[in-house]
Amino acid sequence: MESGSNRPIFPRQDTFSSGLGDAVLSELYANPYALVRPPSQRAPFVFASPHSGRLYPETFLLQSRLDGASLRQSEDAFVDRLFTGVVPLGAPLLAARFPRAYVDANRAPTELDPSMFAGALSMPVDTASPRVNAGLGVIPRIVRDGAEVYQGRLNPREGEERLSRLHRPYQNALLRLIEETRAHFGAAVLIDCHSMPAAAAAADIVLGDRYGTAAAHALTRLAEEAFRACGFSVVRNVPYAGGFTTHRHGHPHKGIHALQVEVSRALYLREDLIAPNDDFDQVAGRLCMALAELMTIDVNLLRPQLGSRLAAE
- Closest among 78, 48, 97, 82 to 245, alpha carbons compared: 48
pLDDT bin (cut points 50, 70, 90) of residue 313 is: very low
Q: What phi and psi, each to the nearest 5 degrees, are found at residue 13?
A: -160, 135
Distance between CA atoms of 153 and 186, rounded to whole angstroms? Answer: 47
pLDDT for 271: 93
- Closest among 37, 147, 151, 11 to 92, alpha carbons compared: 37
pLDDT for 14: 32
pLDDT tens readout for residues 16-50: 333 337 999 999 999 999 999 999 999 999 999 99
pLDDT for 202: 82
Instruction: Report, as an integer, the average pLDDT of 217-237.
Output: 98
Instruction: Report, as an integer, the average pLDDT of 48-70.
Output: 95
Q: Write down the pTM of the prediction.
A: 0.91
Alpha carbon separation from 38 to 15, 25, 45, 208 (Å, rounded): 27, 28, 12, 26
Homologous superfamily (CATH) for 33-312: Zn-dependent exopeptidases (3.40.630.40)
Instruction: Report, as an integer, the average pLDDT of 89-95.
Output: 98
Amino acid letter, residue 17: S
Q: How many CB atoms lie within 10 A of CB 281?
A: 12
pLDDT for 11: 45
Cα Rg, the chain, nearest whole Å: 19
Domain boundaries, the chain: 33-312
Distance between CA atoms of 258 and 49, rounded to whole angstroms? Answer: 13
- Cβ-contact 47, 157 below 8 angstroms: no
Instruction: Report, as an integer, the average pLDDT of 166-173.
Output: 98
DSSP summary character for residue 289: H
pLDDT for 102: 98
pLDDT tens readout for residues 282-302: 999 999 999 999 999 999 999
Instruction: Report, as an integer, the average pLDDT of 180-194.
Output: 98
Is the pLDDT reported for residue 146 higher than 80? yes
pLDDT for 277: 97
pLDDT tens readout for residues 171-180: 999 999 999 9
Number of H helices, E strands in the chain: 12, 9
- If one compares 217 and 308, the residue with the highest pLDDT of the two is 217
Burial track 252-264 (b if 16+ CB lie within 10 A, e otherwise): beebbbbbbbbbb
Report CA torsion sign: 134, 136, 137, 140.
positive
Instruction: Please state, for a pLDDT cut of 90, what percent of the chain lies above it.
Output: 86
